[in-house]
Chain A
Amino acid sequence: MRIRLELVLTDIGGALIRALGLIERRGHRIESCHAECVEDIPGRQRVQVTVNTHERSPEVLARQLLRLYDVLAVDLFALSEISIEQVPRVVAVSPSRSLGIGDVKTANSGEVRTANG
């Protein structure tokens, strides 16, 4: 399954490597990655990663990412070939909301927003 993850990170040394390292270590393949500082919110970094999850659950991956202290928000989008029905527990999230900027996760909340995109 191919997915896009949109992450909001604390812009601090190690945060990006920690998140990307986790994705690979948990058995997924990173196909592309783009990271940039969020201009209007200092101290935040926004990362878009396209990932091939093979057989593994993207929702579990998202929750594993959310467990990291530098990861403030995770949005998960199923890519193209997946029909809505195949995406587990989809909740509609509008594209403008789905960037997750400004949302603060509660520690270990395990809440992951998923959407088809």
Chain B
Amino acid sequence: MNGAQVLLKALEDAGVDTIFGYPGGAIMPVYDALVDSPITHILCRHEQGAALAADGYARVTGQPGICMATSGPGATNLITGIANAYLDSVPLLAITGQVATPVMGTDAFQEVDIFGITLPVVKHSFILKDADQIQQTVQQALRIAQEGRPGPVLIDLPKDMALADASYQALAAEVPAGEPPNLPPQSLLVAEQLLKSAKKPVAYVGGGVGMARCETNLRHFITRLGLPTVATLKGLGALPSNSPWFLGMLGMHGNPAANFAVQESDLLICIGARFDDRATGKLDGFAPAAKVIHIDIDGAEVSKLRTADACLIGRMRSALEHLSEVGVPDIGPWRDRCLEWVRQHRPRYDYPGDDIYAPHLLRRLSERFGSDTYISCDVGQHQMWVAQHCLFDHPSRHLSSGGLGTMGYGLPAAIGAQLARPEQTVVVVSGDGSIMMNLQEMATLMRYRLPVKIVVLDNAALGMVRQWQELFFDHRYSEVDLSDNPDFARLAESFGLQSKSIQYADEIDAGLAFLESSSGPCLLHVKIDPQANVWPLVPPGCSNDHMMEQPK
């Protein structure tokens, strides 16, 4: 076998069945080997689309998503997807072709130092300079991508290595994943004490819960102790949106109930979250009176931004099981206060006028399709409206680019999700700006007949930027007008998608019915009020108790 064949065989042995990619010169040996491989290759129409589709596939399955590109421009086009996976801790394996080793470092045709370029955004990376190492490197790369805190791994494969004879062992020993450290008993004791003596505890839940597949343990812990709970963008769904203990998303566009509870709490139990600035607002004003229990698999996150009083670095499952056994704290009055905040701050959907109010449409959509629908969003106001108004019963149902905030994420990620879950409903919620960033992937939808449902919320603007210019740059609008958008419905039709446009509130039912009844890929173009803003909002530099609310 040659190196390319060994590469694919090693992936196949590890259970990989799908690769997202785009061919080119330096990766040709691998594409040649693909002809005889049982692995399905999904040809995306841009390498960024391939990387983001692999990201969506990984988030839904929990297994590494695999993407592949040629050297030079193919490799650089993957970078946004790799960085996206890095900042959201998604297991991803990126395979890039490289020029042959004798000409590496000579500025050969389509040579870039992709290993060097991606150093800050990978969990680990390899350049293969020995064909006999290919099998082992693939095994190692897949293991690294998944173990501990997941993340992206890059393998750069020079063309001569792909063509060289390479050794392959049919029954190669599996490389065992690194064991997370045991939870320090002393810290567990401290955590117990903190929990027992807390009067106003709040659980602050992040994306780590879903990645550790600890939703059940979390739910047991929260319900047993009756803990008011808030979630980050990536933690949504860890506790079902309709749980009586759930106060909402915290942070910049969070629910006031969630922010007020955190600000007043005397104990924060941070579970797989990282005190990100979108969640905390002004850091030194964040939960000023709270002690902190921090549960995370990644020791480098604990006490990075907020010093923890109990550092539980290790297996989340064990930590939650242990803490579930601590006696139920006596926090009745606190719980009532939190629930009162929830009651006071329920979102209102009675928008005046004939226009479509995006939060209303999204709530209706979510209720109609159910909380087990996969919703993949892009970045901007519409992304925040999804987080605020859609219902999720599992974190994997909400695909959102949280850390990097990548416009163009929604459609390719939905492609990955739909391939991973062919029987489930997958909806993209995009903006008129974002959809244009990976529009070409509509061709991928058609090629593979993926029944993804796209909703474009068209406010004829880069709405989130426009909102900030309105509020914080004195209405000085700069390059946010998109009133010359193409006709999205006709554009979609030209790719072969079914499409429909709606504009008035009384057309919402027809729009949703269209989405529901379409059996193939489809697009619903929704004109919304260009002036609508996302509320509430914590202004930059303020702490989370300073929330600007929707003007009456």
Chain A: residues with CB nearer than 8 A to chain B?
13-14, 17-18, 21-22, 25, 57, 59-60, 63-64, 66-69, 106-111
B303 touching A110, Cβ below 8 Å: no
B144 touching A106, Cβ below 8 Å: no
B303 touching A109, Cβ below 8 Å: no
Chain B, range 105-128, C-beta contacts under 8 Å to A: 115-116, 119-120, 123-125, 127
Give which listed residue, B119, B177, B181, contacts A109 with CB less than 8 A. B181
CB of B91 within 8 A of chain A? no
Taking CB atoms, residues of chain B closer than 8 Å to A22 are: 120
**Given known contacts A106-B179, A108-B148, A108-B180, A13 and B127 CB-to-CB distance under 8 angstroms:** yes
Taking CB atoms, residues of chain B closer than 8 Å to A25 are: 120
- B277-311 CB mask vs A (1 if < 8 Å, else 0) is 00000000000000000000111101110000000
- Bound together, the chains give a CA A106 to CA B179 distance in angstroms of 7
Residue of chain B at shortest CB distance from A67:
B300
Residue of chain A at shortest CB distance from B140:
A69
Taking CB atoms, residues of chain B closer than 8 Å to A108 are: 147-149, 178, 180-181, 297-299
B300 touching A21, Cβ below 8 Å: no
CB of B391 within 8 A of chain A? no
A106 touching B181, Cβ below 8 Å: yes
- Interface size bracket, B side: 20 to 34
**Given known contacts A14-B115, A69-B124, A109 and B299 CB-to-CB distance under 8 angstroms:** yes
State how many angstroms separate the Cβ of B180 from the closest Cβ of chain A. Answer: 6
B299 touching A63, Cβ below 8 Å: yes
- Bound together, the chains give a CA A80 to CA B538 distance in angstroms of 43
Residue of chain B at shortest CB distance from A65:
B300
Taking CB atoms, residues of chain A closer than 8 Å to B123 are: 69
Interface pairs (12), CB distance under 8 Å? A13-B127, A21-B120, A25-B120, A60-B303, A63-B299, A67-B300, A69-B123, A69-B124, A110-B181, A110-B299, A111-B181, A111-B299
A21 touching B299, Cβ below 8 Å: no
Residue of chain A at shortest CB distance from B153:
A69
Residue of chain A at shortest CB distance from B313:
A110
- Bound together, the chains give a CA A57 to CA B124 distance in angstroms of 24
Taking CB atoms, residues of chain A closer than 8 Å to B303 are: 57, 59-60
- Bound together, the chains give a CA A64 to CA B123 distance in angstroms of 11
State how many angstroms separate the Cβ of B128 from the closest Cβ of chain A. Answer: 11
A57 touching B304, Cβ below 8 Å: yes
Residue of chain B at shortest CB distance from A22:
B120
B119 touching A106, Cβ below 8 Å: no
**Given known contacts A60-B304, A63-B299, A64-B300, A17 and B119 CB-to-CB distance under 8 angstroms:** yes
A107 touching B178, Cβ below 8 Å: yes
Residue of chain B at shortest CB distance from A13:
B127
Q: Is the interface of A mostly helix, strand, loop or mixed?
A: loop
State how many angstroms separate the Cβ of B44 from the closest Cβ of chain A. Answer: 28
**Given known contacts A14-B115, A17-B116, A69-B144, A110 and B178 CB-to-CB distance under 8 angstroms:** no
Taking CB atoms, residues of chain B closer than 8 Å to A57 are: 303-304
Taking CB atoms, residues of chain A closer than 8 Å to B180 are: 107-108
Residue of chain A at shortest CB distance from B181:
A109
Of A14, A21, A108, most B-chain CB atoms within 10 Å:
A108
Taking CB atoms, residues of chain B closer than 8 Å to A21 are: 119-120
Taking CB atoms, residues of chain A closer than 8 Å to B298 are: 67, 108, 110
- Bound together, the chains give a CA A59 to CA B308 distance in angstroms of 13
The 5 closest A-B pairs by CB, nearest first: A110-B299, A107-B178, A108-B148, A63-B300, A64-B300
Q: Knowing that A14-B127, A22-B120, A108-B181 are A-B contacts, what are 16 other residue pairs whose CB atoms are under 8 Å apart, sorted by A's residue number? A: A13-B127, A14-B116, A14-B125, A57-B303, A59-B303, A60-B304, A63-B299, A63-B300, A68-B124, A69-B123, A107-B148, A108-B149, A108-B297, A108-B299, A109-B181, A111-B181
- Bound together, the chains give a CA A109 to CA B147 distance in angstroms of 12
State how many angstroms separate the Cβ of A15 from the closest Cβ of chain B. Answer: 11
- Bound together, the chains give a CA A32 to CA B181 distance in angstroms of 33
Residue of chain A at shortest CB distance from B304:
A60
- Bound together, the chains give a CA A17 to CA B122 distance in angstroms of 13
State how many angstroms separate the Cβ of B379 from the closest Cβ of chain A. Answer: 24
A107 touching B300, Cβ below 8 Å: no
Taking CB atoms, residues of chain B closer than 8 Å to A60 are: 300, 303-304
Taking CB atoms, residues of chain A closer than 8 Å to B178 are: 106-108
Taking CB atoms, residues of chain A closer than 8 Å to B313 are: 110
- B85-115 CB mask vs A (1 if < 8 Å, else 0) is 0000000000000000000000000000001
State how many angstroms separate the Cβ of A9 from the closest Cβ of chain B. Answer: 13
Of A25, A106, A110, most B-chain CB atoms within 10 Å:
A110
Taking CB atoms, residues of chain B closer than 8 Å to A69 are: 123-124, 144
Chain B, range 172-203, C-beta contacts under 8 Å to A: 177-181
- Bound together, the chains give a CA A63 to CA B115 distance in angstroms of 23
- Bound together, the chains give a CA A106 to CA B313 distance in angstroms of 13
State how many angstroms separate the Cβ of A56 from the closest Cβ of chain B. Answer: 9
- Bound together, the chains give a CA A109 to CA B124 distance in angstroms of 17
Taking CB atoms, residues of chain A closer than 8 Å to B148 are: 107-108
- Bound together, the chains give a CA A63 to CA B119 distance in angstroms of 18
Taking CB atoms, residues of chain B closer than 8 Å to A111 are: 181, 299
